[in-house]
Amino acid sequence: METEVCIVGAGAAGGILAWELARRGVRVVILESGPRHDFRQRREYVRRYLKHENPWRTPLRELDRHTVGGATPYHLEWRRARGVGGSTLHWEGYALRLHADDFRLRSLYGIADDWPISYQDLEPYYAGAENALGVAGAADDPWASPRSTPFPLPPFPFSYTDRLFAPACRSLGIAFHHMPQARNSVDYGGRPQCRACGTCHVCPTGAKASVDLTHIPQAEATGNALVLTGATVLRLDVDRSGQASAAVYARPDKVERRLTARVFVIAAGAVETARLLLLSTAPAFPDGLANRSGLVGKLFMSHPSLEVTGRASEKVYPYRIGFSTAMSRQFAVERGRATHGAFFLEFMNSAGPTPDQIAVASDQWGEALRKQVREEFGRRLGIRIYCEQLPDRANAVSLNTRVRDYYGNPAPHLQQNVGSYERQALDEAKEVVGKILAAMGLTDIRPSSLMFAAHQIGTHRMGADPGTSVVDANLRAHDVPNLYLVGSGCFVTASSSPPTLTIAALAIRAAEHIAVRLRSAGHAAPGRSLHDNEPITSLQHEDLTLSARE
Amino acid sequence: MTRRILLQRLLLILGIDLAGLMRSRSAHAVNAASLPDPAVFDPPLKTETLSRAEMGDLIAFAEVLVEGRRLTLAERKYLVEHIEERTKRTTGYLALYQLTVSTLRRLVGRRFGSLEISKRIDLVARHRLGTAQVWPGEDLGPFPEGMRAIRTRAVPDLIGGYYGSPAGWAVVGYTTFPGRCEDLTRYVRAES
C-alpha cells in the first residue's frame, strides 16, 4: 500500500494533522494500533468507569506492557489511551495555552532551554486549535499571554465551590479565574452542550472535544484519509539515501505489512514515538532512527501533582460535574523561575470520597453505616497542584529487552525522578494551598502523596541544533528529511499547563509545513477548513527543499 | 481490597474499520476483502449464575449490611444487578457468593432469607458478620473459612456495590450523580 503521508497514531496530534492535510487534498493513511471505540458504546464505558475499570484499555493487553524505574515511577496505566482519539478520549479537556515565558526559560531564567519558536509564532495556531476543538473560556486570566481572537465559546459559570474558594483567594491576593476547556458550554461544532454527566473520563454525550469526534470523521469525509485500526507499526525502514521508506506494521495476526509514503509522521505519544524510533535501527541509524543526537527517549517529563484537601463544616456538594471550572496561573509565570518552579492551581469541584468509598472504608454496617455515609459525604474541598518538571537526561524512555510486547518487540521502560527543583515548588504550592484552605475555615487539611498527571512530554525535543535536539522547529527530524515527529514529545520544556492545546497548535503548524512541501511538488490541492476557520498563516517556510523522491 | 479488584475484560472487537474504509476507498487502492478478519480477544461472559434461592439469601444478607432494614424493590434491584455483573464478568465471584450463602445456611440451619429482618440483624451482630476486619487470632467460629471469606471479601463487595449505585447516591441526597446526565446549571448552586 502506498500513500502520500503515513501518520502513526490517531490521537490529538495525528488526528488533527490528518484533518489539516486531508482538507488540503493530501492523501493520508493513519495507522492506529488500537481500535475505533464506537461512540454508541460510551454509555457502557461510563458504567465500567463507575466500576473503577479503565474502559479505554486496549483489548490486546500485551501491547501495553511497560516497566518503570526511578525514585518516583511513572506508570502508564490510566494515563494513556490507545485507539482512534488517543488520549483525547479520556483527557480532562483543560485547554490552556502556554505562557510566552514558557518558551524562553534559558533566556529569561538561565534554566533548561529555549524553544526554537516563540509564543508569537504559535499564537495563530493556538487560535485555530481553540476553534477546532471548541474551547470555552474567558479572558479573565491576568497571567495569560496576548490573544488575537476571543475564546470561541463562553466560559462555564463558576461553581458553588468556586464561590467558596474565591473570597479566600481574594483575601490572600491570589488570582482566581476561569479554566479554559475544550468542552461545550453551548452547542458547538455539531456536538451538544455539556450535560454535567460527571464522568469526563468517558464523556457520554460528546460535549467534550476528542479528535475521534472533532477531526477524524471530517478527515475521512474528504475521501483523502484512511484510518487502519489494529495496525501496530513495528518499525520504520529507511532506504540507502537515509529517508524513511516504509512503515512496517502488523495486525493481531502478526503478519508484517508495509506502507510506503512520501512523508512519515509519528504521532504516537511521547512514549511510543520514542520507542518506535529506538526500534527502527538501520546501518545508518544504529542507535535508532533520527537519533544521531542520542536524545531520542531522553528528557522525559510530566507534571508532578498533588491534591490538598480540607474538611468543611458544611456540605459542599461535590460530584455534580466531572471537571473544574476555576484555576489560578499566578504561580506559573512571571516569578523567579530559576529557583521557584512554576505551578498552577486547579480548584476542584469534586474532592473527597464518594459514598461507596466512605462505605467500604467504614467498619460500620446497617443503620450505623447509612448514618456515617450520610454524615461524611460532601465535606471535603480540594485544590490540585500541577508543577513544572524540568528536563533531565536521567528521565528517559528506553527499550527493555527483557520484556516483550504482543509482537515480540522490547517494551518501553520509563525512568522517572522528581528533583529538588520540583520538590521545592511542590512544597511552596502546598503552603500556598494550605493558606487558602485555612482562610476558608477548613480543618483537617491534608496533602495527598505525589502523583503525576497523564501528560507524557519530551523524548524527541525540538531545536535548531541537530546536536542537542531531535526535530527542528517544524517538527521535521534533523536526521531524516521526510520524517516528522509530532506531539508533546517535541516540547523543550513542560511548563505547568496541560499540553493538549499546544499539541494541537503544533500539529496544525506542522501540517501546514508538510502541505506546503507537498504542494510545491504538485501533490496537494486546495481544501476546506473545519468550522470555516482557517488558521492564520504566519509560518516562514525557510526550507522547502524536497527530496529526490518528491 | 476485594472491591478494588477490577473487572478485567472489554467487549471490544479489534478489527478493521469498515465504515472508515468505505468512506475512503475511492481515494485509496485498498481492498477490504484482502484484510484479515477481526480477531476476538476477550473471553466469553460466564454463563453460570446463582440460583434464585441463592440470590434471595444473598440479598437478604446484603440488605442487613447496607441499611439494616428491608430494602425497597428498586433498592434490591441495584444489588441484584451488581451481583449478576460480578458473577458474569469476574472470575471467583460466583464461588464467593455461593460460599457466603452456604456458610450462612450452615450458621442458621436453614435458608438465611427465611429469617425475619430482626433475626437476621441479630445474627449478623452476634457473629460480627458486618465487620470486614478480621483480627489476628480472632475466633471465627465453626466455619472459619467461610466466615473469613464473607467478612473480608463479600461484605466490602456488597457494601461497595450498593453505595456505588443510585441507591447509595440517594442516601446522600443526590438524585443525579456521576453517570446520570442532567441539568448543567445544577453545579452552581447548593442542593435544596
Task: State whether B190 and A225 contact (CB < 8 Å).
Answer: no
**pLDDT, position A11:** 98
Chain centre distance of CA A147? 21
Nearest CB neighbour to B171, from listed A37, A319, A370: A370
Task: State whether B12 and A27 contact (CB < 8 Å).
Answer: no
- What distance in Å separates residue B19's CA from the closest CA in chain A? 10
Closest Cα in chain A to B32: A228
A162-171 and A420-439 are packed helices; what angle lies between their axes, rounded to 10 degrees?
A: 100
Query: Is a pLDDT exceeding 90 seen at residue A166?
Result: yes
Task: State whether B181 and A205 contact (CB < 8 Å).
Answer: yes
DSSP string, A296-307: TTBS-B--EEEE
Query: Is a pLDDT exceeding 50 seen at residue B132?
Result: yes
Task: State whether B36 and A224 contact (CB < 8 Å).
Answer: no
Q: Mind listing the pLDDT tens digit for each residue in B152-172?
A: 999 999 999 999 999 999 999
> Residue A255, exposed/middle/buried by CB under 10 A (0-12, 13-18, 19+)?
exposed
Q: Kindly state the cell numbers that stand for A76.
A: 502508564
- What distance in Å separates residue B57's CA from the closest CA in chain A? 17
Nearest CB neighbour to B67, from listed A52, A55, A367: A367
Look up the ipTM and state it: 0.86
Q: Mind listing the pLDDT tens digit for each residue in A407-461?
A: 999 999 999 999 999 999 999 999 999 999 999 999 999 999 999 999 999 999 9
* List of residues 6+ apart from A223 with CB closer than 8 A: B23, B24, B26, B27
Query: Is a pLDDT exceeding 60 seen at residue B23?
Result: no
**pLDDT, position B141:** 87
Q: Mind listing the pLDDT tens digit for each residue in A52-78?
A: 889 998 888 899 999 999 999 999 999
Q: A185 in helix, strand or coil? A: coil
**pLDDT, position B10:** 32
Instruction: Enumerate residues 3 to 22 of chain B having a beta carbon within 8 A of any beta carbon in chain A.
Output: 3-4, 6-7, 10-17, 20-21
pLDDT bin (cut points 50, 70, 90) of residue A523 is: low
- Angstrom distance (rounded) from CA B2 to CA B6: 9
Closest by CA to B112, choosing from B154, B74, B153, is: B154
pLDDT (mean) for A164-181: 97
Q: Mind listing the pLDDT tens digit for each residue in A198-230?
A: 999 999 999 999 999 999 999 999 999 999 999
Mean pLDDT of chain A: 93
| B84/A contact by beta carbon, under 8 A | no
**What residue segments make up the domains of chain B, in order of their start?**
3-36, 40-171
Task: State whether A220 and B156 contact (CB < 8 Å).
Answer: no
Taking CB atoms and an 8 Å cutoff, what residues of chain A touch B12? 35, 37, 41, 59
Task: State whether B6 and A251 contact (CB < 8 Å).
Answer: no
- What distance in Å separates residue B113's CA from the closest CA in chain A? 16
In terms of DSSP bridges, do strands A326-328 and A177-178 run parallel, antiparallel, or are they unpaired?
antiparallel
Task: State whether B28 and A373 contact (CB < 8 Å).
Answer: no
* HEC letters along A262-298: EEEEECCHHHHHHHHHHHCCECCECCCCCCCCCCCCE
Query: Is a pLDDT exceeding 60 seen at residue A386?
Result: yes
Q: Mind listing the pLDDT tens digit for each residue in A479-493?
A: 999 999 999 999 999
Task: State whether A224 and B24 contact (CB < 8 Å).
Answer: yes
Closest by CA to A53, choosing from B44, B7, B46, B41, is: B7
- What distance in Å separates residue A365's CA from the closest CA in chain B? 5
Q: Mind listing the pLDDT tens digit for each residue in A429-438?
A: 999 999 999 9
In terms of DSSP bridges, do strands A410-415 and A396-404 run parallel, antiparallel, or are they unpaired?
antiparallel
| B34/A contact by beta carbon, under 8 A | no
Task: State whether A220 and B16 contact (CB < 8 Å).
Answer: no
Taking CB atoms and an 8 Å cutoff, what residues of chain A touch B159? 356, 359-360, 365, 369
Taking CB atoms and an 8 Å cutoff, what residues of chain B touch A84? 17
Task: State whether B29 and A1 contact (CB < 8 Å).
Answer: yes
Nearest CB neighbour to A194, from listed B17, B155, B184: B184
Q: Mind listing the pLDDT tens digit for each residue in B26-68?
A: 333 333 323 333 333 345 566 789 999 999 999 999 999 999 9
- Angstrom distance (rounded) from CA A387 to CA A414: 19
Taking CB atoms and an 8 Å cutoff, what residues of chain B touch A365? 64-66, 68, 124, 130-131, 155, 159
pLDDT (mean) for A11-33: 97
**pLDDT, position B45:** 66
**pLDDT, position A466:** 98
Taking CB atoms and an 8 Å cutoff, what residues of chain B touch A378? 172
Query: Is a pLDDT exceeding 60 seen at residue A527?
Result: no
Query: Is a pLDDT exceeding 50 seen at residue B4?
Result: no
